[in-house]
Chain A
């Protein structure tokens, strides 16, 4: 199951909730303000680092570049819209609004 997060980890808890219920091996896609959860700095960076042992993380490049975020954890895979579509084709989706 693909977990999609579109809110900042500093704002509404969706990052924590998604990680609480994601099963090992589930991929996580960061879009919109969810991009900030992919950073290698800040309070959420350690949570991300821990989660990377169990989940593949993806970040949508349009949203990364739009926000000028240059400090993504290097294990986060940056994908374009085609990559987004591929993920959605391959998995059932659980969106954490």
Chain B
């Protein structure tokens, strides 16, 4: 309703299934995206492991969020950033991830963070 669009970045720092943070965080991303804000996600540290392909949580008997990651694009959440240093530290490449990401150097990521109206840690 004519309200200013805010730039909001969700920062994912934890691996996928050890805590509830990435699950609830992803839900929050989708809810906020429904309000037409400019949402981005930054995956840093162990948060990169949330993006690995072929996560199968069947035996854990939990839903997992592979499918949710897949619909981010449908919610116009297309700015998905990954920290290059965290990726190198963990021996990962963008091919290991289940969605398309933009890899940023730490100074570029710092700049993206500085541009936000709001940063939500997960």
In the assembly, what is the distance between CA of A22 and CA of B119, in Å?
A: 13
Which of A27-35, A60-68, A87-95 is the interface stretch?
A87-95
Interface size on A, as a range, is 10 to 19
Within 8 A of B (CB), among A69-97: 92-97
Tell me whether A43 is interfacial, beta carbon within 8 Å: no
Tell me whether B17 is interfacial, beta carbon within 8 Å: no
Closest Cβ of chain B to A91, distance in Å, is 11
In the assembly, what is the distance between CA of A95 and CA of B11, in Å?
A: 10
Tell me whether B101 is interfacial, beta carbon within 8 Å: no
List the B side residues contacting A14 at CB < 8 Å: 13
Would you call B13 and A17 a contact (CB within 8 A)? Answer: yes
Closest Cβ of chain B to A32, distance in Å, is 14
List the B side residues contacting A13 at CB < 8 Å: 13, 45
In the assembly, what is the distance between CA of A82 and CA of B113, in Å?
A: 26
Would you call B110 and A92 a contact (CB within 8 A)? Answer: no
Would you call B121 and A97 a contact (CB within 8 A)? Answer: yes
Q: Given A94-B119, A97-B121, do A1 and B44 touch, yes or no (CB 8 Å)?
A: no
In the assembly, what is the distance between CA of A92 and CA of B110, in Å?
A: 13
Would you call B113 and A17 a contact (CB within 8 A)? Answer: no
The interface of chain A, by Cβ under 8 A from chain B, is 1, 13-14, 17, 20-23, 92-97
Q: Offer 12 A-B interface pairs, CB within 8 angstroms, sorted by A.
A: A1-B114, A13-B13, A17-B44, A20-B85, A20-B110, A21-B106, A21-B113, A92-B117, A94-B119, A95-B119, A95-B121, A97-B13
**Known A1-B113, A13-B13, A94-B11; 16 more pairs at CB < 8 Å:** A13-B45, A14-B13, A17-B13, A17-B44, A17-B45, A20-B83, A21-B106, A21-B110, A23-B107, A92-B116, A92-B119, A94-B113, A94-B119, A95-B121, A96-B13, A97-B121
